[in-house]
Structure formats: C-alpha cells, structure tokens
Amino acid sequence: MTPLPRPGDPTITPALIAEHGLTIEEYQRVEQMLGRAPTFTELGVVSALWSEHCSYKHSRPLLRRLPTKAPYVLQGPGENAGVIAIGDGLAVAFKIESHNHPSAVEPYQGAATGVGGILRDVFTMGARPIALLNSLRFGSLDSPRVRYLFAGVVKGIGDYGNCVGVPTVGGEVAFDEAYEGNPLVNAMCVGVLHEKDLIRAVAQGVGNPIIAVGARTGRDGIHGASFASADLSEENEAKRPQVQVGDPFTEKLLLEASLELIHSGAIVAIQDMGAAGLTSSSAEMAARGDVGITIDVTKVPLRERGMTPYEILLSESQERMLVVARKGREREVAAILEKWDLTASVIGEVIAEPVYRVTEGDRVVAEFPGTKLITDCPTYTPDAREDPTITALRARDVGSIPERREEADPLWTLEQVITSPTIASKMWVYRQYDHTVRTNTVIGPGGDAAVVRIRDTRRALALKTDGNGRYCYLDARIGARIAVAEAARNVACTGARPLAITNNLNFGNPRRPEVYFQLREATAGMAEACEQLGTPVTGGNVSLYNESPASAVYPTPVIGMVGLIDDLDSITRSHFSTEGDTIVLLGTPTAELGGSEYLARVHHLVAGAPPNCDLKGERDLIEAVLASIEAGVVRSAHDSSDGGLAVALAECCIIDRGRPLGARIDLSSFAALPMRALLFGEAQARIIISTPDPTALREVATRHGVTSTTIGTVASADDPLEIRVGDRTLTASLPWLDRLYFETIPDIMTKSAAAVVTAATESPV
C-alpha cells in the first residue's frame, strides 16, 4: 500500500531534508528504495534510523575490525547488550552507552535518563542489573558552568540508580578544558542471568501481537537521535529537542515486570524504546527476525493531545518498552503488567508480508519494503589525515622542558599533581551513589576496580571503566591500547581474569579528516589490545559529533571491562593493610613524561608521546599478578598510572580512609632516571604490591618474565610516606596527604553557588 501525505504535512524540500540530517544522496537512496518520494512521516523515520546514533554509518566499517569472539561469548555486538558465560549456567550481560548531548543541555535529567536507558538495555536481555558504573568528562572545575554540569550529572546518576536500587559501584571522572561545553557522560550496566533465560530482541511468529508497555508517549526528545549526531553549535541551540525526563520509579516497575515477563515465557522479544523511540525499536526487532511488522499509531497511549504519527514514531519519552508477545498469551502478559501497575496496549503485530508498515487507523502513513530501512543505510569511509599540529605536539621533546623553580621541592610537585581534580579522590562523587544496596559490593568505588560477588556462588565480578582522552589526543592508537590495557590491569589487581569489554567511542565530527583519523587509529589500537589481552568486544556505543563552539573534545574511547574472580578468597584490595609487609614494584619506571598529569598540571602543557604500551608485557604482567594472588603472596595490588609512582604510593597509604598506613620507600636503584619522571612519569605496565613473602612473589614475577624490584616496607599509621631517591628524601605526612587527596573536590564544590543550587532545587528523588 502506498502511503498518502497527511493534511498539514510540510512539503519535502532540500532544506527540510538537510534539517533532517540527511544528504541529498541519502535522500535519493530513500527514493530508490521506495520507488517513489517518501512522505513527511517516512522522512522522519529514515532520518532517525539513518542518524549516526542508530546506524553507525561512519563507524561500522571500523568496528568490524574489533575482535568479538571467544568461547564464552554468548552474544556479541548488535543486540541490546553483550552477554558472556561465567560458568555454572550463569551469564553476565553488560553494555556502556553515552548520553553526552542531553547532559550538556540538562545535566540532571540528561545523566539520569542515560542511566535509565542502559539499565533497560541490560534487563531486556533477561538479566537482573547488579551494578552500574560510569565514565565522565568535564571541562575545568574553575568554570562555574562546569561545576553546575558536574554537580547536576552526579546527582542525576545517583538519584536514578539509587531509586531503582542498583548500586553504582565504580567509575572514573576526569577534567580538562577540552570537554568544556561538551561533557561526556557514559553509563555502564552489568546484569546477571541464567543462560537459559537469555532473550534476544528478535521479532518472530506471524500473528504475534506487538505491545507497548510502560510510560505514555509525549513529545520529549523528538529527534534526539539526530540531535546526538550534530555539533552543539549555537545555530543548533534553537533546534534542541525537549528534554527527556526520567522516572526511576516507573523504571523499577518496568525492570521487575520485564524480568517476570521473560521468565513467564509469554513473550518472544523485548526492547527498550530508546533513541528514536518506537521507530528504532520496532524496525530493529523486525530486521533481526527478518519479518514484516505493522503498527497503528492510534493505539499508542499518549500523554499529550494532537500528536502526529511523525511525533509518535520519533518520541523519546522514557521508561517505555516494546514487547512481542506470543499469540494467545496476551492475558498472561497483561496480568503481570497489572501486578506492577503498568499499562500495556497492543499496537501492532508481526505479519507475513515483508514490509515495515505504520498506519494511523486505516490510513497507511509509512511503508518500507522488507527490512531495507535498516539494511539499506549507507556506510562511509571518509578521508583520514592527522592534524599536523598534533604530529608536532607529539614529536616535542618534553624531557628537555626546564623544571620550574618550585620543583626543587618534590613535595610541592606532589601537591600540585595530587590536587588535580582528575587525580584527587572522587569520594564527593561516589558518596552520592548508593554503592552498597543489593549487599554484594565487596569493593566499591575508589579501588582499582569494583568487585561484586555473585550470590550463592564463590565467584565475583571485577568491573572497571577506563579512558584517557589526553593520551588519545596525542596518539589515538597508543591511547586506545592503554585504555584497554589499564582496565585489564585494574581488574587483574583485584584478582580477576579480564574476560571481555564493552566500549564507548566518544569522538568529534567524523567528516573532518583529522577526527576520522583519530577514530580509525583508536579503533585499531583497541583491536590490537583486545586481541593480545584476550578480551573481545561484545558491544558498545559510538558517540560522534562531540564538539562545541569552544573546542573539539579529546578523542575518548572508553572501555568497560568485566573480569571474573573464581574464588572470593582471591579478592585483593589496593591499599596497604599490614605493617611490615614488603613493597614490590612489578614493571619498570621509565623517563617518559609525555601526556602526563604532571605536564598538564605543573607546566600547563599537553604534549609529547604518550607512554609506550607493550601489549605482550601487559599480558605477562597480568598473568604474573594473577599467579601471585593465586599463590597467596599478595596482600595488596595497585596499578601505577595516572599521576605516576608517587601518587600511586600515596594512594596505597591513604585510600582506606580512616585506616591509613605509612611506608618507607627507597627508589635509589632507579636514581639514573630524572627525579620528576621517576616520581610523576606515567610508564605503563606497573603494579605496586605489598607482600608478606617478597621472595615467593618475585619468583612468580620472574617466571612470567616480569621485572620486579623491592622498593620498601609498609610502616605504621603514625609514620609518613617517605620516598628516598639517592640522597634526596620526600616525606609526606598521612594527614597532609589525606587532606589534599580527599578534600580537594569538596573544597571546590562547596564553594560553588551553582553546585549548591543544583543540590537545593533538583527533585529530591
């Protein structure tokens, strides 16, 4: 059936096409696919599904290079979330997703709805969410606007997860002027399921009803998907869609009801109506099942009067799900939803005819042949060319930059680095997240990785998000490798074997050759690291067009790593715990300073080559740590990276706040290195271990080909952290370190009027 234009539809002009984010070539492709001109409603549908956010048109060819397979991968990319088996018939579903643009406009709701979306992606696989993590980037906290964004995002993440009752167990936050105006808000969710309950969002079975579940549909976020695919320019300001508002209480109901529906066997498939709402959920489910589908928009429960089919199809109202039920079991579905006070409306069905059809009552308003709507979207491989200014920055010999006069006192330098908001404790942030609900959090935020036990087993998961925009800016390939390697190292420090990752690629406008170059290099670096470390990619998200009038963001691939601990007794923490333990450094300090926090903080310089990333060495290091932990000779293990060895040692002393321990360190065997590189350089593949049995530990290290050096002993709570290098000694008292590390961010935030008002006026839930 050929759809007819509705009265009041605007005429399709080149300007209207451009406004929908489609090129003329793409529009012609639509005409070819249909054999006629599309209606306005169809134009809206195509523009949403062919937006970067939904179609990955600039990234798909690159993503194909990522390794996605391992014997334990049950579900790779292309579903709501990836799924891996962890033994005993149990599986883990996990995924990371961005909500960058909505958070730039309305930080509280933007971040909250980001959490809501990722939760739905996980529980629609049949998994109960057991943990949330995040990865956040903001501009400099010196700016009041940034403090407002930071406070709002943190509160939004907290309020949503806290209310649903899923612990936020970890994350990372970094601040850099490059993110001014375009913060990054990536949220990750991890869920556990029985393998037999795994359900995929694949529509099947002619005659099966399609049911809309949950909140009513309003005009929120219409064209959010295309909005996420455009620069945050001033010109776009006026076109910004209505902000989506989250309702975590309804989400909690949806979560419980969805899991009951899945366990009941009364449904075939379920998917979140996320970006591009009803359109993408229905079209994607139909395409995966290679079936036809018909939907009547007049059956969709609405929140506002007078909504057009175009608006109903593209609305991004939150907390809505689309379900394909088994014919004849509609009553069962309705009963479960009623228990949870949720409404359900049959809005369509799976049909034999190979079309994607939308009607308004009897009138067809959109119709696409087969699954072409999804499969016909073009992909692009634009020009890639490195920005020569970055090549020059990277080539700079940062080792020859003269020290500042104050650096004669390394304590001064330590103070500068440790009070960088990127390095300082994020306790101000995670105190606002309920990280103990569900009573499985063994290690919460603040350690190397979060550890969450799997109830009724001896197993636990180690979870970590990691990214490094500055390294990636200087060298996207190396930066991406480091992101994977560091996440794996963090997870291994807790005693877990790294299993798989989800990734979130946050980049600028891919149509600029220098941005596409970064995207290409980062994807390649990530692929190399994943292959070497044996951690396939099971899914993720690509967020492009992260630019604002002020600047382009750093290319920021974020890794969400999942590791498995086979026995709760292996769980290892980051901090020194026992006076008299020997401190051993695995790995080797280098003279590298490029891209370091030290350069950024002390010299206001982002330059040099990021540290070398030897993937074979990383793999050996991980094996060595895991073998040492298994041998029972590791009391604590902490990764040394951002901020360098001095910061990592300070963290080992103080991060178990309330129970700090001093340490006596002697780094004289590395005295040939420049002092600042030794203390603040960010050489990779290094782990600080405290051990009761250094001989056994070093023997395990040697067996794995890993260099180890005894560098000191754990002292008492009354002792300072003392670091000797040759004839120079740095002595930092624990209370001094504690204050710098833990009070930096609270000091900044309590002085900020904008942050205080955010706390005072946002919804209390």
Partner 1 sequence: MSRFRVAVHIAPRRGLLDPQGKAVTDALRTLGFASVQDVHVGRHLVVEMDAADPAAAERTTRDMCNKLLANPVIEDFEIASVSTL
Partner 2 sequence: MKFGIVTFPGSNCDYDTYHAVVDALGEEATYLWHKEHDLRGSDVVILPGGFSYGDYLRAGAIARFSPIMREVAAHAERGAPVLAICNGFQIACEAGMLPGALLRNASLRFVCEAVRLRVENADTQFTNRYDRGQLVTVPIAHGDGRYTADDETLARIEGEGRVVFRYVGGPGDADEWWSPNGSMNAIAGIVNAAGNVLGMMPHPERAVDDLLGSSDGMGIFESILSRVAA
Q: Report, as residue numbers or ranges, the catalytic residues.
A: 53, 99
Q: How far apart are CA 248 and CA 512, in angstroms?
A: 38
Residues 209-248 as x/- pattern, contact with partner 1 by CB under 8 A: ----------------------------------------
Helix (H, G, I), strand (E, B) or coil at 352: coil
Residue with smaller CB distance to partner 2, 165 or 378: 165
Q: Which position has the token pair 């509160």?
A: 155
User: Binding of partner 1 at residue 759 (CB under 8 A)?
Assistant: yes
Helix (H, G, I), strand (E, B) or coil at 326: coil
Work out which of 335, 392, 757, 765 binds partner 1, going by CB under 8 A. 757
The type of residue at 400 is S
User: Binding of partner 2 at residue 240 (CB under 8 A)?
Assistant: no
φ and ψ of 122, to 5 deg: -85, -45
Stretch that binds partner 1, among 344-352, 400-408, 607-615, 757-765 (CB under 8 A): 757-765
For 187-209, give the secondary structure using H, E and C. Answer: EEEEEEEEHHHCCCCCCCCCCCE
Q: What is the DSSP string of 46-92?
A: HHHHTSHHHH-TTTHHHHTTS----TTEEE-TTSSSEEEEEETTEEE
Nearest distance, CB of residue 416 and partner 1, angstroms: 27
User: Binding of partner 2 at residue 636 (CB under 8 A)?
Assistant: no
Residue with smaller CB distance to partner 2, 167 or 617: 167
Site residues (CB under 8 A) for partner 2, limited to 151-180: 155, 158-159, 162-165
Residue with smaller CB distance to partner 1, 249 or 412: 249
Classify residue 111 by its DSSP letter.
H
Classify residue 302 by its DSSP letter.
B
User: Binding of partner 2 at residue 246 (CB under 8 A)?
Assistant: no
User: Binding of partner 2 at residue 320 (CB under 8 A)?
Assistant: no
User: Binding of partner 2 at residue 334 (CB under 8 A)?
Assistant: no
Classify residue 727 by its DSSP letter.
T
Taking the mean position of all CA atoms in its chain, how far away is CA 439? 23
User: Binding of partner 2 at residue 763 (CB under 8 A)?
Assistant: yes
User: Binding of partner 2 at residue 33 (CB under 8 A)?
Assistant: no
Work out which of 101, 240, 394, 453 binds partner 2, going by CB under 8 A. 453
In the list partner 2, partner 1, none, the entry touching 159 (Cβ below 5 to 8 angstroms by class) is partner 2
In the list partner 2, partner 1, none, the entry touching 518 (Cβ below 5 to 8 angstroms by class) is none
Closest CA to 121 of 203, 212, 199, 205: 199
Pairing of strands 663-666, 728-732: unpaired
Cβ burial of 133 (10 Å; 0-12, 13-18, 19+) is buried
Cβ burial of 672 (10 Å; 0-12, 13-18, 19+) is exposed
User: Binding of partner 2 at residue 573 (CB under 8 A)?
Assistant: no
User: Binding of partner 1 at residue 432 (CB under 8 A)?
Assistant: no
In the list partner 2, partner 1, none, the entry touching 753 (Cβ below 5 to 8 angstroms by class) is partner 1
Residue with smaller CB distance to partner 2, 251 or 682: 251
User: Binding of partner 2 at residue 432 (CB under 8 A)?
Assistant: yes
φ and ψ of 165, to 5 deg: 90, 30
Nearest distance, CB of residue 737 and partner 2, angstroms: 15
The type of residue at 397 is D
Work out which of 385, 455, 616, 728 binds partner 2, going by CB under 8 A. 455
Residue with smaller CB distance to partner 2, 330 or 743: 743
User: Binding of partner 1 at residue 754 (CB under 8 A)?
Assistant: yes
User: Binding of partner 2 at residue 422 (CB under 8 A)?
Assistant: no
Nearest distance, CB of residue 456 and partner 2, angstroms: 9
User: Binding of partner 1 at residue 756 (CB under 8 A)?
Assistant: yes
What are 703's two structure tokens?
């067996």
Residue with smaller CB distance to partner 2, 131 or 472: 131
- The DSSP element (H or E) to which 479 belongs, if any, is helix 476-493
Residues 705-744 as x/- pattern, contact with partner 1 by CB under 8 A: ----------------------------------------
Residue with smaller CB distance to partner 1, 46 or 755: 755
Stretch that binds partner 2, among 108-116, 293-301, 663-671, 752-760 (CB under 8 A): 752-760
Work out which of 184, 358, 442, 526 binds partner 2, going by CB under 8 A. 442
Stretch that binds partner 1, among 82-90, 355-363, 479-487, 753-761 (CB under 8 A): 753-761
What are 760's two structure tokens?
């005072």
Stretch that binds partner 2, among 13-21, 252-260, 664-672, 708-716 (CB under 8 A): 252-260
Residue with smaller CB distance to partner 2, 169 or 203: 169
In the list partner 1, partner 2, none, the entry touching 283 (Cβ below 5 to 8 angstroms by class) is none
Q: Which position has the token pair 């040394």?
A: 640
Q: How far apart are CA 132 and CA 118, in angstroms?
A: 9
Residue with smaller CB distance to partner 1, 335 or 757: 757
Closest CA to 607 of 386, 398, 416: 398
Q: What is the DSSP string of 486-531?
A: HHHHHHHHTT-EEEEEEEEEE-S-TTSHHHHHHHHHHHHHHHHHHH
Neighbouring-strand partners of residue 131: 190
User: Binding of partner 2 at residue 756 (CB under 8 A)?
Assistant: yes
Contact indicator for 543, 100 with CB cutoff of 8 Å: yes
Residue with smaller CB distance to partner 1, 591 or 757: 757
Contact indicator for 117, 160 with CB cutoff of 8 Å: no
Helix (H, G, I), strand (E, B) or coil at 716: coil
Q: How far apart are CA 518 and CA 495, in angstroms?
A: 33
Nearest distance, CB of residue 145 and partner 1, angstroms: 14
User: Binding of partner 1 at residue 765 (CB under 8 A)?
Assistant: no
Q: What angle do CA 273, 274, 277 make, to 5 degrees?
A: 60
Contact indicator for 340, 256 with CB cutoff of 8 Å: yes
Beta strands in 589-662 (DSSP E): 636-639
Helix (H, G, I), strand (E, B) or coil at 560: strand
Work out which of 180, 220, 231, 247 binds partner 2, going by CB under 8 A. 247
DSSP 3-state percent helix, strand, coil across the chain (nearest 5): 40, 25, 40
Residues 46-85 as x/- pattern, contact with partner 2 by CB under 8 A: ----------------------------------------
User: Binding of partner 1 at residue 305 (CB under 8 A)?
Assistant: no
Nearest distance, CB of residue 332 and partner 2, angstroms: 18
Cβ burial of 216 (10 Å; 0-12, 13-18, 19+) is middle
- Count of residues touching partner 1 (by CB under 8 A): 7
Q: What is the rounded end-to-end Cα distance, in angstroms, of the chain?
A: 48
Site residues (CB under 8 A) for partner 2, limited to 461-490: none
Residues that bind partner 1 (CB under 8 A): 753-754, 756-757, 759-761
Residues that bind partner 2 (CB under 8 A): 155, 158-159, 162-165, 247-250, 252-253, 256, 340-341, 430-442, 453, 455, 568, 756, 759-760, 763-765
